[in-house]
Amino acid sequence: MVKKVNTAISALFILVMIVAVWVWAVSVHTWTPMGTLASLLCLTLFIWTGLRAIPALTGYIIRPYATEAAIGDDSQEERQRTWWRIVLWVVASRVLLILVAYVFWVLKEGGAESLFSRFIDIWHIRGIDAMSYLGIAERWYVTEGDPRFHIVFLPLFPVAIKLAQFFTGSYMAAGFAVANLCTLTAALFAYELARLDMGRRNALRVVKYIFIFPSAFFFFIPMTEALFLLLSLMALYYVRKKRWLLGCLCAALAGFTRSPGILLAVPIAVEFARDLAAGYRQMDRKAFTNRLILAGVSLVTVSFGLLAYLYINYNVTGNAFQFSIYQREHWSQRFYFFFDTVKYQMEYAVNTFKDADYRSFLGLWLPNLTGIFLVLFLMIRSAKKLNPAYMAYMIVYFVYVVAPTWLLSAPRYFAVAFPLAFAAVLLTEDKKWKDTVLTSLFIAGGLLYLAVFVSGYPVY
């Protein structure tokens, strides 16, 4: 029976991909060898990942619960020591990040100016979306001038900055404070979530991989990454602890922070399905019905963040979908096929390299392509090992964030995809040298990406 279900789902998955490829193929007007090759490789790896993940997902839902490693196995004293270790590590990493960025700035400028006097310039706060969030925090959404386009940015992070500003006296300082407090809390929740499935050592490695991901320096600055990561981790942690409504409320807040937050409904639904499948065999009809209703109500709650954002669009502009109009008209941004994104990314990479436009090549197209294929590699290698709910999230998240027709920030978008850290741990737990190699590659990649960011390359 299970094999038949897997076969049917796999066949449907392949059919959907065939239809998508056919629609894409008949609409493409120009083909280039490198762009076509990159697109087909991306598509092949994605389909392979999906086919490997489907049997694991169905098995996860229908099989009885296995005994899980629990944080309760630690004494309170051991748990607190681990928390303090994480706190100190995160704080030390922030200090080191500041110093490394300052060194890169000094090397670029050729002079040792004061770290604090040039702090905002070092981190290019005025050249990225941070200023938009700070503007929303200070003035809310407006309908005139260039700030009218700020409606495309979701409101929870600016609201948090507004609240923090009462304590800091500065919107800029509040932005940094909120981002780094969220970073610190996210590290603790990452550990707690990982301890549901792993021993203490591997759970700590999950925290490590989250914060050495090459684009993880975005957690430091006034951007939504840290808050979104925190809420995503909280959502899955509380759902897996059977505190369904609280977990779904966290997911709703994630959806009020960044639009991919609505995708958290996918892993939450998988966890609900697994719990209900187990309960169906053990509960009487009334108890099961009550649990089914609770699951349905909780899952609907996930949409509240996005619905609230649509209401703000309507209240400010008179159109609940005004953000999508601005995205399309002002940024030439709409959703298309993710494998078409890889096609044009490769074409831009080849052309900018040929034209010696190394700023665009190193700041945009090469990091985007590297991030996309690195994520695909981690996904395909961990498809049978990673928690299937997390893998389901990664599949829909990958499609969502790679699909835009003008993708500029793939590495930053992937920094908040927490299942990647779990995948990295699972792929390196059997051999210490694998962990050493992957850690070294991530750190080296992070240093290079930070260097081009501080140098003013188009890193967004």
What range does the domain containing 23 cover? Answer: 1-63+336-429
Q: Does residue 216 fall inside a structural domain?
A: no
138 part of a folded domain: no
Tell me whether residue 129 is in a domain: no
Residue type, 277: A
Q: Which amino acid type is present at position 349?
A: A
Is residue 103 included in any domain, yes or no?
no
What does the pLDDT look like over 373-403, one tens digit per residue?
999 999 999 999 999 999 999 999 999 999 9
Q: Is residue 382 part of a domain?
A: yes
321-335 exposure pattern, b = at least 16 Cβ within 10 A, e = fewer = ebbeebbeeeeebee
Q: How many CB atoms lie within 10 A of CB 401?
A: 25
Reported as a single tens digit per residue, the pLDDT across 296-345 is 999 999 999 999 999 999 999 999 999 999 999 988 889 999 999 999 99
pLDDT on residue 280 = 73
> Of 349, 360, 339, 459, which Cα lies nearest the Cα of 405?
339
Structure tokens at 116: 């604090």
Query: Which residues, 6 or more positions from 374, have their beta carbon under 8 angstroms from its beta carbon?
Result: none
| Structure tokens given for 411 | 């590495």
Domains contained in the chain, number: 1
The verdict on residue 331 lying in a domain is: no
For residues 82 and 191, is the Cβ–Cβ distance under 8 A?
yes
DSSP letters along 36-71, please?
HHHHHHHHHHHHHHHHHHHHHHHHHHHSPPPP---G
pLDDT tens profile 399-428 = 999 999 999 999 999 999 999 999 999 999
- Indicate the pLDDT class of residue 73, thresholds 50, 70 and 90: low
pLDDT confidence band for 285 (50 / 70 / 90):
confident
Average pLDDT, the chain: 93
Asked, for residue 366, whether it belongs to a domain, the answer is yes
Residue 87 lies in a domain: no
Rounded to whole angstroms, the Cα distance separating 209 from 186 reads: 13
